[in-house]
Amino acid sequence: MRPVHAETRRPAQAVLAAASLLLLAGSSLASGTLVFLSDFSLKDGAVSAMKGVAHGVDAALQLFDVTHEIPPFNVWEGSFRLAQAAPYWPSNTVFVCVVDPGVGTDRLPVVHRTRSGHLFVGPDNGLFTLVDDVLGHDRTFVIDASRHRLPGSQASYTFHGRDLFAHVGARLASGQMAPADAGPPATHPPVRIPYPVASWKDGVLCGVIPVLDVQYGNVWSNIGPELVAQAGLRVGDVVEVTFLNAGRRVARLKAPFVETFGSVPKGKPLVFVNSLLQLSVALNTDNLAARYKVGSGPNWSIQFRVLRSTACPSPSAVPSTAPSFQRKP
């Protein structure tokens, strides 16, 4: 699958280029760090089993989690949470990623390397779409399951997270194998989930609603600081926000663009820049997504139109190095 819109490619940052050169030169520095993401939840022993496999490969490994609360089978949300977290981990960190509704089918098990030097072990089903857009895709290797399975797991077909991905991930993180040892290079580009690229046109900022801030019901977008600056959005501006599902309007509201939740009374809406520096909407101390029945994913979109501009100073400068879910070369 490919993106549904043409995209503007931006030069990779120097740190990504340097990491890529090291990797192409054959660097295989072991991180000693393994980070897990799945849709398993913590209700049973699945996550513990994966960590047990990793511990058995190398008891000195440091084991961490992104989350295990991805909604079941939601590959898109798994992709977002990886992109949300991975840029803040050091280069050479290995991620074991299991949102895998096609386990046991002909979807490929892979070691997926970004230009930043991060390694992702999991299914090639679109799960790495957004980390590629943030960190840049380098190379993908297809895991030879006949050589790299957990010993004794050959009769198991439905738990690659334990029997294949955790085992391979632990060996990578401990330095027992290099990415190229996993198997041959992939002969096709990685599977991608198509989604609309954020834009500013005719006075309207348009983007996708990639995920909700699930704990609080805030609605996030993929509209980054560059577009916010192009639109000239200022603190104090009144903004009309429209939520759409598959192009059909679900809800509409008006809210001020402010810097903090406390800038509006409790229960009132606000437009703000979230922790990933993306334009977002919330209710102060209330759940906007629940009140307005807003969801998330590639089919959910959001529009911002300034209704009344103010002469207030622009918000503090937003660093352009924040994760931005647009394609990198």
pLDDT of residue 322: 55
Q: Residue 114: which of 84, 85, 137 has the closest Cα?
A: 137
**CA separation for the pair 99, 77 (Å, rounded):** 9
Residue with the bigger pLDDT between 196 and 237: it is 237
pLDDT of residue 246: 96
pLDDT confidence bin for 308, thresholds 50/70/90: confident
Q: What are phi and psi of 315, to 5 degrees?
A: -60, 165
Give the model confidence (pLDDT) of 201-237 as tens digits: 999 999 999 999 999 999 999 999 999 999 999 999 9
Q: Residue range 303-321: average pLDDT?
A: 63
User: The pTM is what?
Assistant: 0.83
Q: Residue 141: which of 82, 97, 104, 188 has the closest Cα?
A: 188
What is residue 230's three-state secondary structure? Answer: helix
What is residue 195's three-state secondary structure? Answer: coil
pLDDT of residue 31: 86
Q: Which domains does the chain have, with CATH numbers?
A: 14-182 (3.40.50.10790), 199-308 (2.40.30.90)
Give the model confidence (pLDDT) of 234-249 as tens digits: 999 999 999 999 999 9
C-alpha angle with apex 142: 136 to 144, nearest 5 degrees?
155
pLDDT of residue 324: 63
Whether the CA torsion 174, 27, 138, 86 is positive or negative: it is positive
